[in-house]
Amino acid sequence: MTLRFGLIGTGRIGQVHAANIARSEEASLAWIADPFIEGARRVAETFGGTATADPEELLGSGGIDAVLVASPTPTHVELIARSIELGLPVLCEKPIDLDITRVDALRDAVRSSGVPVALGFNRRFDPGFAGVRARVAAGEIGGLEQLTIISRDPSAPPADYIAVSGGIFRDMTIHDFDMARFFLDDVVEVSATGSAVFDDGAREHGDFDTAVVTLRAASGAIATIINSRHSAVGYDQRLEAFGPLGSLSVANAPTSLISLSTAQAVEAKPPYQDFFLERYAQAYVDELHAFVRLVRGEQSSSPTFEDGRAALLLADAAQRSAVERRTVQVEPAA
Amino acid sequence: MTLRFGLIGTGRIGQVHAANIARSEEASLAWIADPFIEGARRVAETFGGTATADPEELLGSGGIDAVLVASPTPTHVELIARSIELGLPVLCEKPIDLDITRVDALRDAVRSSGVPVALGFNRRFDPGFAGVRARVAAGEIGGLEQLTIISRDPSAPPADYIAVSGGIFRDMTIHDFDMARFFLDDVVEVSATGSAVFDDGAREHGDFDTAVVTLRAASGAIATIINSRHSAVGYDQRLEAFGPLGSLSVANAPTSLISLSTAQAVEAKPPYQDFFLERYAQAYVDELHAFVRLVRGEQSSSPTFEDGRAALLLADAAQRSAVERRTVQVEPAA
Amino acid sequence: MTLRFGLIGTGRIGQVHAANIARSEEASLAWIADPFIEGARRVAETFGGTATADPEELLGSGGIDAVLVASPTPTHVELIARSIELGLPVLCEKPIDLDITRVDALRDAVRSSGVPVALGFNRRFDPGFAGVRARVAAGEIGGLEQLTIISRDPSAPPADYIAVSGGIFRDMTIHDFDMARFFLDDVVEVSATGSAVFDDGAREHGDFDTAVVTLRAASGAIATIINSRHSAVGYDQRLEAFGPLGSLSVANAPTSLISLSTAQAVEAKPPYQDFFLERYAQAYVDELHAFVRLVRGEQSSSPTFEDGRAALLLADAAQRSAVERRTVQVEPAA
Amino acid sequence: MTLRFGLIGTGRIGQVHAANIARSEEASLAWIADPFIEGARRVAETFGGTATADPEELLGSGGIDAVLVASPTPTHVELIARSIELGLPVLCEKPIDLDITRVDALRDAVRSSGVPVALGFNRRFDPGFAGVRARVAAGEIGGLEQLTIISRDPSAPPADYIAVSGGIFRDMTIHDFDMARFFLDDVVEVSATGSAVFDDGAREHGDFDTAVVTLRAASGAIATIINSRHSAVGYDQRLEAFGPLGSLSVANAPTSLISLSTAQAVEAKPPYQDFFLERYAQAYVDELHAFVRLVRGEQSSSPTFEDGRAALLLADAAQRSAVERRTVQVEPAA
């Protein structure tokens, strides 16, 4: 039986989910909601389903088995709350919210509801990162001692987005915090350093465009996250897991098998993929599949509400660390 | 308006075409024919269309705009002949036939019909090979002087397939002959060396499992094709174009971005893709698209019946060269 | 005219310098001192010069033009002091001392003497690192925004060495601090995280075997140093300079041009060079040459006493940061 | 006891040998002969030994234990003949001669003399090629089925050199023939294709600037040699050994560990080494060492007079094959 989805939000990431739902043999697109009704209608025409401007109509339709929340961040808490009230499992884009108090206010309801709430940490489903994690778990490099995550977006967002983004740690690094937790679930200390080197928007709003975060785990393992809001070579997404027996690395995804060698330079390749929609195309497909399994009560690797909260706690700690110039202690997730 | 396809043959390559036709916005799958009617029915169920055991029913249905021939090689000439008789454009899997006299017998009919006949030389549509060709044409390495094609299948086919295959040059190298012609359209000499080193089937049927072919163009440029019927690392498909300003290379397609470094070996990656269905997945999509354009009378890069014939002439020349131990002259295609 | 060297200390690094002096056309080995007289004698036999157990005899011999100090760290300050007293230029292995107060006590004497004192930060002369620095300076990647230094020794030193080493930051990271300063001369903040994950010696002596340091420059640029006391793949020495136009990277040095591809793994290479004597063989040669130029009063890139002091200040700050869990401010070198 | 060398010829390759002899602990440079006496004197000043314009004076001096022949090719036969007459072991630069009848005329004398005569096929000592051969012999890829040698010089020699070179196969490919024989000692067939694509000198003298040679071994294994007289990227020297278990490859030697990534191209490296003096620097050292062992009657891997003759036979066969457009049979070396 296919899972009938209600999709809320039809921006670029909503459209990716719509296409993946439509292509999946396990899912179908039943309702699409977006206050910008034109967006909802266009998705409905392309991938099927009923369009509405009102998420409430979607939630109350009786025609859906699960909700995919891809609307703006400030709406997430309310939509998750309503969905679990109605007993509808939710796959919500990250972050849950920029404000930990709002997340915590929702926490008990999620826990007591027993309704599955998954967070859209898509990178966990990337074959590269997931593969390295599985091979680390299989002991290929021994116990994990160091984790290095390089994560650079192609270009800085507009200043008015920066203004409401919650800052680089909550907006961008949040993915890297989750990736660090994917490998190390016992982080106890956060040290962050940030700079506004090139982006006027970051400078204007007291944010950073360049940042490095160090996470220490109870085990003693150390994760390092290196971020920049821009990258001339395309989306820069690398990882190295290091242990006593060696290392496992994930390289940037090539866009071509072609290399050029001349008298000026040899083995030169074209730049990397532009951004996350291309780089993580397969991850979004696998993320959806994992969520379907979660809803069905099968073994699933979907990150949970608690994972979303834990990543936000690390982001908050990093923000505090960068501003107060000190290491911040955190409770490892239960 | 979508092009309604009649698909003849539902083996593994037929299934790839069925899926691509079904997914294309420019095409639809109208009829499927296979004497093994179960195969035709399964494709029809998955991708739509009417199933029949009889290709004639498909051709005469009036419900198709083009024919995709993916049936066994001995049926190709007859099916092309019938299709053009009916004015139906054909995309035919390679080779046209193993016997040049049968190809030549069909040649005039194809030419005089004015009906588009395209050959399934899928590799021309691989983004790597097509990209190198375009960049060579753009002058990035100057005039082409040498072309090196390494092409190794994962494992030798069964002996009874070898028996009817027409030999390695007509069966396997045919793709590489077309690739050489994709870059060099003025080949005038063929020198081939073959061995049966490891495969009993090849030995038994007087065929080769290992071969090297050298093609000399009128321009003086030399292409080298290096073949093996087996490859432990997966499908081995590489190319290097060399000119006065440097070289453009196509590497094997990685199956993962992960590499492992230990005390035994560093930067070790998992083996390459298994075979052509994975390696050339995108090429099959682009091949279909080019054929649709050809049928529509638009600018198209589809290889033609003449390309299929020219590749077979090179294969015949290579077979003669390897057996007679001499360089064989060929007429460059008009 | 060749520069006559007095070499003090004939351990493995002293022997490297002896060989390089002997091979250089600009230098000769005149005196060799080591309390372990057998070591001095062996070097003298191989490379020429007079052996003595007493450095004073070497310094007072009147037969040398410059001193190369390769003796244990606690002797450095005294030997530099004596050398400059005698007007003899010194090339001293890093660090000047583990105690900044002893370094500062020597500082005025060095400055007022006008005698060249160079520090053995060999990595500055590595063609890879020096090349990246020159290309960054030439503007190839725009203004430097991030610098990532990965530096892992092949294996942890014995516990009794750890006991007197001054800790990982003063003993091992000191090279990376200098490398960071080689690129960024305006570091103002240091944040360090350390762990003892695998080495009992480090644990026993309150030291770290695993560390990450973040340095913030006045410009806003951020350097990250990733250290481990062990590395299964061999000496791990990488660097990435990142700017608005792209990045320049230094890879680990291959020990072979051979790669192996099998059904298990493809493109696998042998492990990297074992340690610094191999990895930085050329750097030691170029370091000597630069010192000769410094002594001659020519344009030279030799790191100075002040560079040695500045690196130690960063090491002290890192130690404090790691222990006190806070960012430590430093004065950028004048 | 060190081996006292008489060096005949002080061109660029003679100078390389002089330096290696001078640096070796097993050898010393006793006499240097060159009709261009200035060259001999310069070498004697730098590396020691007595200079003479007359090779006979060197040979008859009584002060040498072995002869290194690095003079022009036409002098080789005579100098080898005189050396063995005098009982002096010879290391002679390739080729023995361009004319097989002159080589054959010398053959019996060499055999009956019992004096060691080694040929300067330097590439056999390259750690990359020698390493692959050893690993093939150790069974890492199973029995050798295919060998691909890519060998391109940086630029074509002057036309007047071409005139006396004996043609590309005897002058340049000779190294590759020996490399093929290093892996496959049972070559029975030669097929060659040549073109003059870019070089007026080659065209003028009926020679080729571009060539491909296929060698078939009695075992059925096939070696392919791909040559060009020019290469924009620097000296292009690659090899791939292929067997049932996989392949072992030798890549071009990088000149730097640095790579540049920008919005135009990523992972771009500087061009390769310019030519053989750099690329095979270590090979020349190891070649000398092997010859010293040969002279001492120890286990040695020095290629012999017979190896020199066998390579020339393959060159002759290739020339015939390319001109007569047919495969040429050869006797495998005894």
Test the B interface: residue of D145, D186, D187, D222 with most B CBs within 10 Å? D222
Quick check: C334 pLDDT over 70?
A: no
Quick check: D333 pLDDT over 70?
A: no
3-class SS of residue B324: helix
Beta bridge partners, C212, equal C193, C226
Same domain, C270 and C288: yes
Helix then strand then coil, in percent of chain D rounded to 5, is: 40, 25, 35
d(CA C332, CA C311): 11
Q: What is the residue type of A291? A: F
Same domain, A134 and A97: no
Same domain, A207 and A260: yes
pLDDT of residue C266: 96
Judge whether D310 and D290 are in contact, CB under 8 Å: no
d(CA D277, CA D153): 12
Distances (CA, A) of A66 to A109, A110, A112, A116, A118: 17, 15, 18, 10, 11
Same domain, A109 and A130: no
CB contact under 8 A, C248 and D259: yes
Distances (CA, A) of A78 to A144, A291, C317: 38, 20, 47
Last residue of a domain, one of C92, C115, C138: C115
pLDDT of residue A331: 85
Q: What is the CATH number of the domain that holds C91?
A: 3.40.50.720
CB contact under 8 A, A251 and B259: yes
Quick check: D332 pLDDT over 80?
A: no
Residue C333: pLDDT band with limits 50, 70, 90: low
Query: Considering the domain boundaries, does residue D260 fall inside one?
Result: yes
Same domain, D196 and D244: yes
Contacts of D265 (CB under 8 A, 6+ apart): A260, A265, A268, A269, A270, A271
Q: What is the residue type of A150? A: I
pLDDT in tens, A106-136: 999 999 999 999 999 999 999 999 999 999 9
Closest residue, chain A, to D262 (C-alpha): A233
Percent of chain C with pLDDT over 90: 97
Judge whether D226 and D212 are in contact, CB under 8 Å: yes
Query: Considering the domain boundaries, does residue B288 fall inside one?
Result: no
Spatial CA neighbour of D152 closest among D60, D279, D282: D279
Query: Considering the domain boundaries, does residue A153 fall inside one?
Result: yes
Quick check: A150 pLDDT over 60?
A: yes
pLDDT in tens, C195-252: 999 999 999 999 999 999 999 999 999 999 999 999 999 999 999 999 999 999 999 9
Closest residue, chain D, to B197 (C-alpha): D220
Neighboring chains of D (3 or more beta-carbon pairs < 8 A): A, B, C
CB contact under 8 A, B269 and C272: no
pLDDT of residue D275: 83
Test the D interface: residue of A150, A261, A262 with most D CBs within 10 Å? A261
Same domain, A162 and A270: yes
d(CA B208, CA B228): 9
Same domain, B86 and B141: no
Quick check: C37 pLDDT over 70?
A: yes
Q: What is the DSSP string of C2-18?
A: PEEEEEE--SHHHHHHH
Residue B277: pLDDT band with limits 50, 70, 90: confident
Choose the closest CB to D131 out of C254, C258, C262: C258
Same domain, C135 and C224: yes
Exposure pattern of C268-295 as b/e (b: 16+ CB <10 Å)? Answer: bbbbbbebbeebbbebbbbbbbbbbebb
Percent of chain C with pLDDT over 70: 99
Residue D331: pLDDT band with limits 50, 70, 90: confident
| Average confidence (pLDDT) over A156-163 | 95
pLDDT of residue C171: 95
Choose the closest CB to A233 out of C146, C148, C246: C246
Query: Considering the domain boundaries, does residue C334 fall inside one?
Result: no
- Reported as type and span, the H/E element at residue A149 is strand A146-152
Same domain, A263 and A136: yes
Same domain, D184 and D311: yes
From the centroid of its chain, how far is CA A305? Answer: 12
Query: Considering the domain boundaries, does residue B295 fall inside one?
Result: no
Q: And the tokens for B285? A: 């999509």
CB contact under 8 A, D269 and A270: no
Distances (CA, A) of C246 to A249, B145, C92: 21, 34, 36
| Average confidence (pLDDT) over D114-130 | 97
Residue C273: pLDDT band with limits 50, 70, 90: confident
Quick check: B334 pLDDT over 60?
A: no
Quick check: A333 pLDDT over 70?
A: no
Test the A interface: residue of C212, C248, C266 with most A CBs within 10 Å? C212
Half-sphere exposure of B254 (CA within 13 A, CB side): 22
Judge whether B332 and B185 are in contact, CB under 8 Å: yes
Q: What is the residue type of A282? A: Q
Q: What is the CATH number of the domain that holds A176?
A: 3.30.360.10
Last residue of a domain, one of C115, C150, C176: C115
Q: How many domains does chain B fold into? A: 2
Binding-site residues on chain D for chain B (CB distance < 8 A): 143, 145-146, 148, 150, 152, 189, 191, 193, 195-198, 210-212, 214, 216, 219-222, 224, 226, 228, 230, 232-233, 242, 244-247, 325-327
Query: Considering the domain boundaries, does residue A131 fall inside one?
Result: yes
Same domain, B83 and B184: no
d(CA D241, CA D249): 6
User: Domain span at residue C222?
Assistant: 123-329
Rounded-to-10 torsion of CA D187, D190, D195, D196: 60
Query: Considering the domain boundaries, does residue D283 fall inside one?
Result: no
Same domain, C306 and C266: yes
Residue C52 falls in which region: left (phi positive, over 0), alpha (psi -120 to 50) or beta: beta
Query: Considering the domain boundaries, does residue D100 fall inside one?
Result: yes
Question: Which positions in chain B touch C268 (Cβ < 8 Å)?
Answer: 265-269
| Average confidence (pLDDT) over B80-97 | 97
| Average confidence (pLDDT) over D80-108 | 96
pLDDT of residue A334: 53
Closest residue, chain B, to C262 (C-alpha): B233
Distances (CA, A) of B2 to A210, B22, B69, B224, D317: 50, 11, 19, 41, 60
Choose the closest CB to A265 out of D252, D263, D268: D268
pLDDT in tens, D35-64: 999 999 999 999 999 999 999 999 999 999
Choose the closest CB to B233 out of C232, C261, C269: C261
pLDDT of residue B333: 62
Last residue of a domain, one of D115, D150, D176: D115
Spatial CA neighbour of C122 closest among C68, C158, C44: C68
Quick check: B278 pLDDT over 80?
A: yes
CB contact under 8 A, D146 and B326: no
Q: And the tokens for B308? A: 């299929």
First to last CA, chain A: 35
| Average confidence (pLDDT) over C328-332 | 89
Chain pair B-D, CB pairs under 8 angstroms: 101
CB contact under 8 A, B246 and D230: no
Spatial CA neighbour of B66 closest among B139, B134, B115: B115
pLDDT in tens, C67-80: 999 999 999 999 99
d(CA B193, CA B191): 7
